[in-house]
Amino acid sequence: MSKKEWLAGMKAIYPVCFGYIPMGLACGVLLQQAGYHWLAVMLMSLIIYGGASQFMIASMTVAGAGLLEMVIMIFFINLRHLLMSSSLAHRIREKSTVFSIFFAQTITDESFAVNTLYFKTEGMWNPTKAIAANVTAYATWILSTGIGAMAGKSIALSPVVMNYILIAMFIFLLISQIENRIVFWTAVFSGITAVLLMSLLHHNIAIVLTSILASGFGLYLQNKKDEKEGILRG
């Protein structure tokens, strides 16, 4: 693992890290106010590493939810990480099992998007750069949540500002990946489906369902395209 490759990975992920810092601080503050020690917050970030899940833990703790309920909800919210890890598995197949496990642990929506984007260009990206990007975002989130928890009530962060930062980051990641009509229409389908399901269910499980449905829709469009091209070649 060369220093040059690590720097390239860190350079690719730094815009995401700028978004992680305020969100991590806010998450840490909320968890501290929910009763968690800053060491517990950092351990939570180390093991769970999921912004949506950790924000949910804070709100569920305040609401008096039990441990089993939290575990079940975290499982479903983070289930999408299984799909993301599986889709990138062939990119690191020459690496060891330990490397693959750690790579899977450090994948988030944002690092997945960055890695997917760069892996499309042959020769530009490799597992070392990918893990460097993942680890940089991972460390940023752990430190940000830890600092937020240590600072506690002394940090005043507006939820409105957090929402704008999160939305802007995801819009950037989405636009950077729209390279053909299939991706575009899948993105449109995802947006409409997410709004409809959230309106009907009023629960974050709508995000998981949208991910599954959008994956199926994208696969359907790709299969239709392949069939059409096969007919034209025949």
Confidence of residue 42 (pLDDT cuts 50, 70, 90): very high
% of residues, the chain, pLDDT over 90? 21
For tokens 């460097």, the residue is 132
pTM for this one? Answer: 0.70
Q: Evaluate if residue 162 carries a pLDDT over 90.
A: no
Say what the pLDDT of residue 165 is.
60
Distance CA 142, CA 140 (A): 6
Say what the pLDDT of residue 71 is.
85
Distance CA 146, CA 151 (A): 9
Q: CA 122: distance to chain centroid?
A: 24
Tell me the three state secondary structure of residue 24.
Answer: helix
The more confident residue out of 161 and 152 is: 152
